[in-house]
Amino acid sequence: MRRLLIAGNWKMHKTIPEALDLVRELKELVKDVNDRDILVCPPFTALYPVSRELEGSNIVLGGQNMYFEEQGAFTGEISPLMLKDAGCSYVILGHSERRHIFGETDELVNKKVLSAINHGLIPILCVGELLEERESGKTQEVVEKQVREGLKGVDGDNEFVIAYEPVWAIGTGKTATPELAEEVHLFIRQVLSDMFGSEKANSVRILYGGSVKPENAAGLLNMENIDGALVGGASLKAESFAKIVKFDMEA
């Protein structure tokens, strides 16, 4: 049985005081949750103070991106060693905004995935198609290429997470129907089975990302192959994120 993972990607939001206020409120709201993993990914500036605030809680910390080198002349970048030092255990890699705004390629994302694993971080590899790719019937082709290229050189014993995020559903208010999302998640699991074998494929958590809100979380997260959510805007308020975390635990 795969353990659910509910991850909040804060993107470029929250000053340090705002970040601390958010996690203090969130800690209280989800303190009784013990049957799923809860992850928050603040901006880099807030990582260390948030890490200190989360000590002893049931919430873990992740970074939103990283470079694959440990150190060097890479102005503006952050290394896996820095993320570990700040208290991170996960890192989001290959997010559609990194791919489509900042031009990250599958090759670069793969280097980051391998570096994360080598430094004891669990990568969350994001994959997903553009609207025009979906409309032209290329969803599986695009997603399979991103999965295979992103995980090239990864060992079956390594831990990693996949996040399927249809680009047309991110920040748009549009959401893939649970059935449509399940179809792609099942396809990703089949690709993983071909790459690593069925046992590994059945153990990998595949998250859904794309305008996940309290109102649609249960429908998505009750699908067989959807093992959690990568939440954007709804993770910026403790109450809405807590409702997603506790989607089937509400009275």
d(CA 48, CA 83): 9
Catalytic residue among 53, 165, 182, 185: 165
d(CA 28, CA 150): 36
Q: Would you say the C-alpha torsion 181, 185, 186, 191 has a positive or negative sign?
A: positive
Active site residue 95: yes
d(CA 6, CA 241): 9
Active site residue 141: no
Q: In the structure encoding, which two tokens stand for residue 138, read together?
A: 């290329």
User: Of 190, 192, 185, which is closest to residue 154 (Cα–Cα)?
Assistant: 192
Rg of the Cα atoms in the chain: 17
Catalytic residue among 95, 97, 104, 129: 95
Q: Determine if residue 205 is left, alpha or beta; phi over 0 gives left, psi from -120 to 50 gives alpha, anything else beta.
A: beta
Residues recognised as catalytic: 95, 165
